[in-house]
Every structure is written in structure tokens, then in C-alpha cells.
Amino acid sequence: MRAFCDRLCLNTFCLTQLLFLSVICFSSGRALAGVLPEPSGTSNIAPGVELRHWTLKEPLPRSIFVLDVDVNKANVKSAFVIGGADPDGPGAYHATNLTVLAAAERFRFDLAVNAGVIRNPPESSDAGNGWGRVYTPTMVDGHWVAAPEAGKSYPAVVIHTDGHFSLQSFETFPEDALHVMPVHTGQLVKEGKAVNLSRNESDTAKDPHPRTVIAVDKTGTHVTLVIVDGRDEDRAVGMTTNELEAWLVGLGVYDAMNLWGGGNTTLVLRDRPDGPIRIYNRPSDRNPQGFHTLRSGQTTLGFKFYDRR
């Protein structure tokens, strides 16, 4: 009986230590695959689309949404869009600013997140109501809107004509590229390992902020979107890039890139075929009255998965 009790105590001690180490690994940015807490909720949104949500209090308050999208499924289609029509006609291409929600409604997406932002030229209005130019390199539906320069390397997300995704730095873009999204702050995970982006970035990487991330498996056919709310001390403080990389490694992704975050971080989702598309996270921008607002100078990554003809 004493031997049994000793073994029980030892096993209890080991389990306690394992849980303690798991918390330490995550909070210090060195999480291992599989060492994430259980999600607070999981929903099968559509064939090939699953939503997981974490509401955490320890070690810090956080709200994290993870969308897993299987682009091999026949019902799943993806696209990259850059807002409304060119407001000034011939010449350099410009685009009218749209929020992620407005873009999702215009292009009939069922799921959409912010990709990048539109640069506003001096003659345009402010980012809330104006228009502007996209960053290089940008391709939409197989056409270069802002073509890359020869001899330069660009971190980017490519959607191929067969629907799979590639995330890396490109010197030459593949011939079967359908959409190209520029990535402004680089790669977070490469071949399953954290890159430690904060070594080469500003305080934007080292301070906690809202984050929007795209990740893929090794085949590029399983896309993971991670939306981290932030700038709310009571509910969601955001993440540093080291914490974000640890989370992504915990999710088991192969490659991951940081999309434009902060006040731009927006998730909109239609969670049933006959339902409305709505804002699913809590964007951090507020108007003077304290209500949540959406930034409009956006480019948008969207998915369709419901047949709503």
C-alpha cells in the first residue's frame, strides 16, 4: 500500500511539473506543439471550415480565434481583394478604401480577415474615407496591380490557381500565381520552427498588440487564420510576436506570416448558411463615444464556403 501511495504521489508531482512547464513555455515564447490549453469553444462552420476560440485569464487575459480552412474541399474558394473601384481612372492604380466587413459584403465572402493596408497619397482623404495605393507586390486575379522589381526579394502570400497557398520570401513569383499579398512584417514560423521575428523588428514586435496571422501546413492546402484581440486590459491584452510564434508552433503549423495587425485586426464571419456576415472579434479602435470602429484602408483575404446562389 505504501509503495502504491509513493507511486501515486510521484505521478501527481510529475503531472504538476508538466503543467507548470507548459505554462512557462507558453508565457516565455517557447511553446512546444500540443502544449496549448483546450479551446473554450469549437464549431464546425461548414465542410472544411472549423472555428476554435480561446478565452484565457492566465497568465494574461486573452481572446484568440483560430479558423482552420481546408482549401481542398470543393465548397471552399478563396480570393484576395483590394477594395472598391479605381476612383481617378487611367494612370497609376488606386482603390477606394473599404472595411473588411464592407469588402466581405461586396464580394459575398463567408469569412474574411484584414490582409494589408492601402497607402493614402497626399491628394486623397484620410484612411477612414479616402482612397489610396496598394503596396508592392500585389496581384489580383492573375494581374499585377503593383508588380515586383527584378532582383528584389519580397515576403508574400501567394494563392495558386489550384487553390493552395505559399508563404515565403519570393525573388521570382510562380507562374501559376493567382493572387499575391505583400507581407509587411515578415515570417513568424518557417518549416515548423519559430523565426524569432522580434530580433529584427521594432517595439511593434516586442510589445503586445492585436494580431492577424495566416499559416499553412506543409502542402499549403490547410490554411490557419489566427486573430488575436488586444489593447483591452480586462479582456484581451494582445501578444508579442514571440508569444504569437509560440502559439503557432503549439498549433503545429508549418509556415506562418504576420499580416497587418493592431487596429486593423478584423475577423468577419457568416457562421451558418442563412445567417448574416458579422464582426466576430472586437477590433481595438474606438470612436469618441467608445464604440468599436473598423478601419477602412484595408485589403482583404476572403473565403466562400456556403452555396448561396
The pLDDT profile of the chain, 309 residues, written as one tens digit per residue, is 445 445 444 444 343 333 333 443 444 333 344 589 999 999 999 999 999 999 999 999 999 999 999 999 999 999 999 988 888 888 888 888 899 999 999 999 999 999 999 887 655 544 456 788 899 999 999 999 999 999 999 999 999 999 999 999 999 999 999 999 999 888 999 999 999 988 877 677 889 999 999 999 999 999 999 999 999 999 999 999 999 999 999 999 999 999 999 999 999 999 999 999 999 999 998 877 777 788 888 899 999 999 866
Segment (H or E) for 268: strand 267-269
Helix axes 241-251, 2-27, angle to 10 degrees: 130
Cell numbers representing residue 137 in the block? 507586390
Query: Which residues on neighbouring strands pair with residue 133, listed in sequence order?
Result: 119
CB atoms within 10 A of CB 293: 15
Contact criterion met (CB below 8 Å) for 128 and 89 = no
Give, as one character, the DSSP assignment of residue 92.
Answer: S
Contact criterion met (CB below 8 Å) for 236 and 229 = yes
pTM (2 d.p.): 0.87
Side-chain-side CA neighbours of 180 within 13 Å: the count stands at: 27
Give, as one character, the DSSP assignment of residue 200.
Answer: S
Give, as one character, the DSSP assignment of residue 175.
Answer: T
d(CA 10, CA 8): 5
Cell numbers representing residue 43 in the block? 464549431
Distances (CA, A) of 204 to 5, 66, 133, 225, 240: 51, 22, 23, 20, 8
